[in-house]
Amino acid sequence: MNANIESTSALRRKVTIEVEPDEIRRELDRAYNELRRNVQMRGFRTGRAPRNLLERFFGDQVRGEVIQKLIRDSTDKALEEHELKPLLTPEIVTEETDLTKALRFSAIFDVRPEIEIKDYADLKVPAQTIEVTDEQVASALDNLRERHATLKKVDDRTTVAENDFVLAEIEGFADSKPIEGAKLGQRLLEVSPARLAHGLDAVLTGAQVGVPASATRSYPDDYAEKDLAGKTVEWRALVKEIYRKEVPELDDDFARDLGETQTLEELRGAVRKGLGEAARREADARARQGLLDLIIERNPLEVPQSLVEREQHGIESEMRSAMQAGGMTADAAAERVREAADEIRTRSEKRAQSTLIVDALADQEGISVNDDELADRVAALVTQSGRERDRVAEYYGHEENRAALMQAMRREKTLEHLLARAQSETAPSEEPAPQ
């Protein structure tokens, strides 16, 4: 194996590797010998199939597996010999994969920058006073009642009103032809502009049960939903049933029905406590981020390209999933992500920078997470996952996922440690308090 190392930037490395023919032959021989021992071919006893037949029937599969193994083993060997530690898994670019000639490829990666964090031990962050108002408690109780509301079929009228729930079918047409992606099969819909896109609430409001209704709407050329953009759409709806939402009374019976309290006053106390705990978590999160921002400001550093790209992919995926969960189509969500490219890039760079800074701080402060702490966190995640318990347990059964969780826990622990120290004294800080 021959390896050539290039530094294409301060942090980026390109290792070009060419595997020697003898090594390729040895690996091919090993692969075919292993295959011969396990494969059964008609007319031959196990372990007796000739090499030429194995090559004929399994050649592509064997070559693919051999290439992957040689790339993996050669890359690991080259990195170890040259004491290179990639920040993330290297990107492999193949140049020659005809094993009768050669195997040549490049491993491209970033190395972790050498970071020494300075000027952070003296930072002070005033602890915030948490206060839960009566208005916040009342609002939370209203939301709780809304979550436990029930739907009752309406029998005393047949005309749909705003904020009704209806069992209905809707389909959009342009030039009397159905529009792909503009059909809602029979489903329960809340007739509200906050719940229905494309103005469909106006189509349903005033409709009669069992009577076909229609309304026409025009959409601009730059409309987010591409199937509707630039079109005049005739929406046709058929309402099958109307329901009204009934919210439970706020009383002792409601408190008992929730199963954790016996009286309304106990429920108010539990809600107030929960709001206080949530407010404290949010305040601590803001303080940790504010403290981290101050540390980053005092310790500017070059961020590896691969780390920024990983964070960017993660943010884009989070955005698409959130928008699709809110009812947006995949195409519309992808378009919104493209429109936010500059903002996403900025957020990605900040996330990547934060990751490097916190990891360096963890090293300097000697912060670690032990196996017992990891096991407790995994157990909590599995317990909290409800019906997904088996899937979550299986996920954290893989070593790489447990390692990623341990790293995330180490970062959390580091920021909590720094915040506790920054709030340990009440003297006013020379730095502005994080917002």
pLDDT averaged over the chain?
Answer: 91
Strands (E), 58-210: 91-96, 103-110, 150-153, 165-174, 177-190
Question: pLDDT confidence of 433, banded at 50, 70, 90?
Answer: very low
Task: List pLDDT tens digits, range 169-227.
Answer: 999 999 999 998 888 899 999 999 988 989 999 999 999 999 999 999 999 998 988 88
Sequence-distant (6+) residues with CB within 8 A of 76 are none
| For residue 432, pLDDT beyond 80 | no
Q: Tell me the pLDDT tens digit for each residue of 237-280.
A: 999 999 999 999 999 999 999 988 999 999 999 999 999 999 99
Nearest-angstrom CA–CA distance, 432 and 137: 31
Q: Say if residue 230's pLDDT is above 80.
A: yes
Q: Give me the percent of the chain exceeding a pLDDT of 70.
A: 97
Query: Dihedral of CA 267/269/274/275: which sign?
Result: positive
Q: Which domains does the chain have, with CATH numbers?
A: 2-110 (3.30.70.1050), 115-149+252-300+367-435 (no CATH), 150-246 (3.10.50.40)
pLDDT of residue 41: 85
Q: Report pLDDT for 425.
A: 60
Structure tokens given for 277: 């705990």
Q: In terms of Cα–Cα distance, which of 216, 27, 18, 192 is closest to 103?
A: 18
**pLDDT tens profile 283-329:** 999 999 999 999 999 999 989 999 999 999 999 999 999 988 877 78
CA dist., res. 420 & res. 125, Å (int): 9
Average pLDDT over residues 359-372: 96
The reported pTM is 0.69
> Pick the residue with more confidence: 408 or 128?
408
Q: Taking residues 39-63, report their average pLDDT.
A: 89
